[in-house]
Amino acid sequence: MGQVLNFFPLTIFKSKINLTNEKKKKMIEEIFTMEKKSKNIDYKNQSSAWTGDTQGFEYIHNNPIFDDFFLEVKKAIIEYLNVLEIDHNQLEIFIQRSWATISREKENIALHKHLQSHLSFAYYLKKSEGDANLLFVDETKHNEFLPGLFLSPSSNKKEIIKKRNIANSGAIVFEAKEDEIVIFPSKTSHQTQPNVKNNDRISLSADIFIAAKNSENMEHLVTPFKNWKTL
Ligand SMILES: [Fe+2]
């Protein structure tokens, strides 16, 4: 048998964040208060989840109730960078936006990506066993030499792909439990599973922006924020 070599993976990182039940309860109460104070409720349609960033609450990282959580987030981001063998000591890690989402019944979040940032995450503050998971869609599909094959419902029905594996999947459901954080490149297309009944599932998300600490002799990466100037 010949040799099979796989290249160019997408690396998604999952780890657990341990917060006390008391701390989590306070965060949940704060999020329900934000929901009550929604500033743009017409924006939300019946089938979509409540997303705090569209309702006037896009900076939860500036709310002290979430301080402990974001300390843990920082550790997880550094772990992710370590997995990719990226020297985080040369980089400055910013949070530019952070928010909560609440999914009730079959509400979901449609397919999207976060093109204004570099890394994104979902942390499950409240999640029951059957609640919706994240679904990632691969836009590169290097192995899809027959365009459309991997995600075609009709060819799926005919089982042209006999068995799904890492080499022939264009989308995956990423399972995670309450207390777990999932970190991924912001440019990755993702959504929450549709048609899954949620038991008031609450997640926290943020857009992480990464700049070089020192731009000298560096053609790429974002330059240090302290040297920027408003025109
Ligand atoms: Fe997202």
The model's pLDDT over 126-155, given as tens digits with 9 standing for 90+, comes to: 999 999 999 999 999 999 999 999 999 999
Cα 207 to averaged position of ligand 1 atoms, centre (Å): 9
More confident residue, 195 or 61: 61
Q: What is the pLDDT of residue 189?
A: 98
Q: Which amino acid would we find at residue 43?
A: Y
Give the CA count within 13 Å in the CB-facing half-sphere of 67: 3
Instruction: Give the 3-state secondary structure of residue 155.
Output: helix
Measured between alpha carbons, how far is residue 37 from residues 33, 51, 157 in Å?
A: 6, 13, 46
Domains along the chain? 13-133+175-213 (2.60.120.620)
Cα 157 to averaged position of ligand 1 atoms, centre (Å): 29
Cα 126 to averaged position of ligand 1 atoms, centre (Å): 17
Average pLDDT over residues 53-72: 96
Tell whether the model's pLDDT for residue 180 goes beyond 90. Answer: yes
Cα 41 to averaged position of ligand 1 atoms, centre (Å): 19
Comparing CA positions, the residue from 83, 82, 202, 189 lying closest to residue 137 is 189
Cα 98 to averaged position of ligand 1 atoms, centre (Å): 11
Average pLDDT over residues 41-49: 82
Evaluate whether 103 touches 198 at the Cβ level (below 8 Å).
yes
How many CB atoms sit inside 10 A of residue 5's CB? 5
Q: How far apart are CA 72 and CA 75, in angstroms?
A: 5
Tell whether the model's pLDDT for residue 108 goes beyond 90. Answer: no
Cα 4 to averaged position of ligand 1 atoms, centre (Å): 34
Cα 51 to averaged position of ligand 1 atoms, centre (Å): 10
Supply the pTM of this predicted model. Answer: 0.94
Evaluate whether 196 touches 190 at the Cβ level (below 8 Å).
no
Evaluate whether 119 touches 80 at the Cβ level (below 8 Å).
yes
Q: How far apart are CA 31 and CA 54, in angstroms?
A: 14
Strand order in the sheet with 134-137: 171-174, 134-137, 189-192
The model's pLDDT over 190-224, given as tens digits with 9 standing for 90+, comes to: 999 998 999 999 999 999 999 999 999 999 999 99
Q: What angle do CA 67, 71, 73 make, to 5 degrees?
A: 110
Cα 193 to averaged position of ligand 1 atoms, centre (Å): 12
Cα 5 to averaged position of ligand 1 atoms, centre (Å): 31
Evaluate whether 221 touches 154 at the Cβ level (below 8 Å).
no
Cα 136 to averaged position of ligand 1 atoms, centre (Å): 10
Cα 187 to averaged position of ligand 1 atoms, centre (Å): 10
Evaluate whether 139 touches 147 at the Cβ level (below 8 Å).
no
Q: What is the pLDDT of residue 7?
A: 95
